[in-house]
Amino acid sequence: MKFSRRMDCFGEGIFTTLAEIRSKRIAAGEPVIDLSIGAPNIPPADHIRKALCEAAADEKNYVYAISDRPELLEAVAGWYDRRYGVKLNPETEICSLLGSQEGLAHIALSVIDEGDMVLVPAPCYPIFGDGPKIAGGRIWHMEQKKENDYLIQFSEIPEEVARKARLMVVSYPNNPTTAMAPDSFYEELIAFARKYDIIVIHDNAYSELVFDGASCGSFLNFPGAKEVGVEFNSLSKTYGMAGARIGFCLGNEQVVSRLKLLKSNMDYGMFLPIQMAAVAALTGDQSCVETTRKAYERRRDLLCEGFDRIGWHMEKPKATMFVWAPIPEHYATSQEFVMDLVEKAGVIVTPGSAFGACGEGFVRLALVQDEEAIERAVAAVDQSGILKKR
Give 70-99 pLDDT, tens digit per residue: 999 999 999 999 999 999 999 999 999 999
Q: How many other CB atoms are there within 10 angstroms of residue 223's CB atom?
A: 9
Structure confidence at residue 22 (pLDDT): 86
**Mean residue pLDDT across the chain:** 95
Per-residue pLDDT at 285 exceeds 90: yes
Per-residue pLDDT at 277 exceeds 90: yes
Report, as an integer, the average pLDDT of 207-226.
Answer: 97
Q: Secondary structure of the chain: what % helix, strand, coil (to 5)?
A: 45, 15, 40
- State what percent of residues in the chain have pLDDT above 70: 99
Q: Give the range among 19-23, 139-143, 314-318 with minimum mean pLDDT.
A: 19-23
Check: CATH 3.40.640.10 for 46-283?
yes
Under DSSP, the state recorded for 28 is T
Instruction: Please report, for the chain, the start and end positions of each structural domain, with discontinuous segments joined by +.
Output: 5-44+288-384, 46-283
Check residues 348 and 16 and name the one with the higher pLDDT: 348
* pLDDT classification of 282: cutoffs 50, 70, 90: very high
Structure confidence at residue 12 (pLDDT): 67
CA dist., res. 95 & res. 269, Å (int): 10
In one letter, which amino acid is 339?
A: M
Structure confidence at residue 16 (pLDDT): 79
Report, as an integer, the average pLDDT of 127-151.
Answer: 96
Q: Give the range among 4-8, 57-61, 269-273 with minimum mean pLDDT.
A: 4-8
Q: Do 230 and 249 meet the contact criterion of CB atoms below 8 Å apart? A: yes
Report, as an integer, the average pLDDT of 323-349.
Answer: 95
Check residues 30 and 59 and name the one with the higher pLDDT: 59
Check: CATH 3.40.50.300 for 5-44+288-384?
no
CA 18 remoteness from chain centre: 18
CA dihedral 110→115→117→119, nearest 10 degrees, is 70
Structure confidence at residue 165 (pLDDT): 98
* pLDDT classification of 13: cutoffs 50, 70, 90: low
* pLDDT classification of 309: cutoffs 50, 70, 90: very high
Predicted confidence (pLDDT) per residue in 144-178, tens digit: 999 999 999 999 999 999 999 999 999 999 999 99
Per-residue pLDDT at 14 exceeds 80: no
